[in-house]
A and B are shown apart, each in its own frame.
Chain A
Amino acid sequence: MSARHTKGRTGRGFMFVWGAPILLGVLSVFGLLAALLGTGAWHWASWITLTILLGVIVRYWVFPLKH
């Protein structure tokens, strides 16, 4: 297998596994800090971003992916 091919597969593999968890992690950090650093719109931003986590769980638990 060529070096270019390996690199390409590794890069795709990393985001395939970690893309969604990284995005959810960033949303969680933002949601946790937003309400700590501001009020009003920041509270709303916090509620919305943290609710997205719950939405993701409902999406995949209640409506599993079709194989």
Chain B
Amino acid sequence: MTAASTIKTWYWIHKWTSLVCTIFLLIICLTGLPLVFHHEIEHWLDDAKPLSNVPANTPPANLDKLVASALTMYPGEVVDYLFFDPDEPQVYVGMAKKPGDGQASGHAVRMDGRTGDVLLEGPLYTEDKFSFMGIMLALHVDLFAGLPGELFLGFMGLLFCVAIVSGVVLYGPFMKKLEFGTVRAARSTRLKWLDLHNLLGIVTLVWAFVVGFTGVINELSTPLFRLWQSTELVRILEPYKGQTVPTQLASAQLAADTAKKAMPGNEVSFIAFPGNAFGSPHHYIAWMRGDTPLTSKLNTPVLVDGRTGELTTVAKMPWYLTALEVSRPLHFGDYAGLPLKIIWALLDLITIVVLVSGLYLWIARRRATEARINELVKKHQAAAAPQRNPA
């Protein structure tokens, strides 16, 4: 293949992978902007009661107290999970009409993790989807289409990654005679935006590829968890095969203590109760996080017998779930405070400019080609006219 035809092939790949994913990537980038600041926005829109004014060293409340309080508030329902906020001393008690029904009938009660005071009775998840942040999240993650939407947007993310790689291949020949950063602003508008497209694209290359690729991994989170449940978890649960969700559950506090004893130096970040859709029918699954910047992002599942509260096993995280967990902070940009979030948002805005300029360049090139074809047709007609009408 000659150099010219290689460039043509890469140009074709870059054009079509970009064109197909651009609209969806624009939706993802635009909805990603408020999502970068979701913590701040949710804090601002939050109508929960403030945390109790207690000394900083107040120990955490007994989890059984929180569970009992939530069950009293919602008689007839079951506790689905406990989520421990890593930033504030508060606990989200997830409730559902029956075990495993969290996605359909789930809602959460937010409680002060030290006093057990109820801070907020959250709406049903199905209703929360239509709050401002819920709409942003749904458009960003699945376009309100559930798993098919997640897989579709994951595929769009993959096309975006291919567009980036093909863009890098094209950057070389384009920039052979131009100094880095050249923006020929005095020439035509199309040339100016071609240079800007190249400049912004190459400067944000690594960031855009990392955020795009980790986005693809995140879109696969549901099938990856299902894979873990249907392979490794099945092996662990083999001795419990055929058993239903225990009617009498062991203490949640005992389950948390057992998990902490099994993994000293780790904190409980999430407890899936027996029957949780992403857990085990017979176990509490306590997800434990480490105390270093990196290990605090990595969760290890500890299985605790739902009836006795005894340790069943510390499950080894499969590589694909480790990859998923590492990919999350690198996609969200929420791992180094507000300055990183601001940088993330600015890089997101630049990516929007790259996408829009790419679209503009395609339209402008089509127009230029059409104009050139029209010109050639006119010339051809003018040349042919005297022959048709001889004097």
CB nearest neighbor in B for A30? B206
CB distance from A65 to the nearest CB of B (A): 6
Q: B172 and A47: CB pair below 8 A?
A: no
Q: Which of B156-173 contact A (CB under 8 A)?
A: 171-172
Decide: A47 and B293 in contact? CB cutoff 8 A.
Answer: no
Q: A36–B297 contact, CB under 8 A? A: yes
Give Cα distance in the complex from A8 to B339, angstroms.
44
In contact, A37 and B293 (Cβ under 8 angstroms)? yes
Given A35-B293, A36-B330, A54-B346, the answer on whether A25 and B340 have CB atoms closer than 8 Å is no
Q: Number of A interface residues, CB 8 Å?
A: 32
B343 touches A60 (CB 8 A): no
- Quick one: closest B residue to A56, CB to CB? B203
Hey, what's the 0/1 contact readout for B332-372 against A, CB within 8 Å counting as 1? 00011101100100110010000000000000000000000
Q: How far is the CA of A51 from the CA of B183 in the complex (A)?
A: 21
Q: Would B343 and A21 count as touching, CB distance under 8 A?
A: no
A residues less than 8 Å from B316 (CB atoms) = none
Q: How far is the CA of A59 from the CA of B335 in the complex (A)?
A: 28
Please tell me which one of the listed residues A13, A21, A60 contacts residue B205 in the complex, with CB atoms under 8 A apart: A21
Interface membership of B86, Cβ < 8 A: no
List residues of chain A with CB within 8 A of the CB of B210. 28, 32
What string of 1s and 0s marks CB contacts (under 8 Å) between A22-33 and chain B? 001100110010
The answer, yes or no, to whether B181 is at the interface (CB within 8 Å) is yes
Cross-interface CB contact of A43 among B185, B203, B207, B337, cutoff 8 Å: B337
Residues of A14-67 at the interface with B, using a CB-CB cut-off of 8 Å, are 17-21, 24-25, 28-29, 32, 35-39, 42-43, 46-47, 50-51, 53-54, 56-57, 59-61, 64-65, 67
For the complex formed, measure the closest distance between the CB of A59 and the CB atoms of chain B, giving whole angstroms.
7
Q: Is the interface of B mostly helix, strand, loop or mixed?
A: helix
Contacts A65-B179, A65-B182 given: A50-B293 contact, CB under 8 Å? no
B330 / chain A contacts, CB cutoff of 8 Å: 32, 36
Question: Chain B nearest CB: distance from A46 CB in Å?
Answer: 5
B175 within 8 A of A: yes
Known: A35-B340, A65-B179. 16 other contacts (CB 8 A): A21-B180, A21-B202, A21-B205, A36-B294, A36-B297, A37-B293, A37-B294, A47-B339, A50-B347, A54-B343, A54-B346, A54-B347, A56-B181, A60-B199, A67-B182, A67-B184
| Chain A residues proximal to chain B, CB less than 8 Å | 13, 17-21, 24-25, 28-29, 32, 35-39, 42-43, 46-47, 50-51, 53-54, 56-57, 59-61, 64-65, 67
Nearest 9 A/B pairs, CB to CB = A35-B336, A60-B181, A28-B206, A20-B180, A64-B183, A43-B336, A47-B339, A25-B206, A50-B343
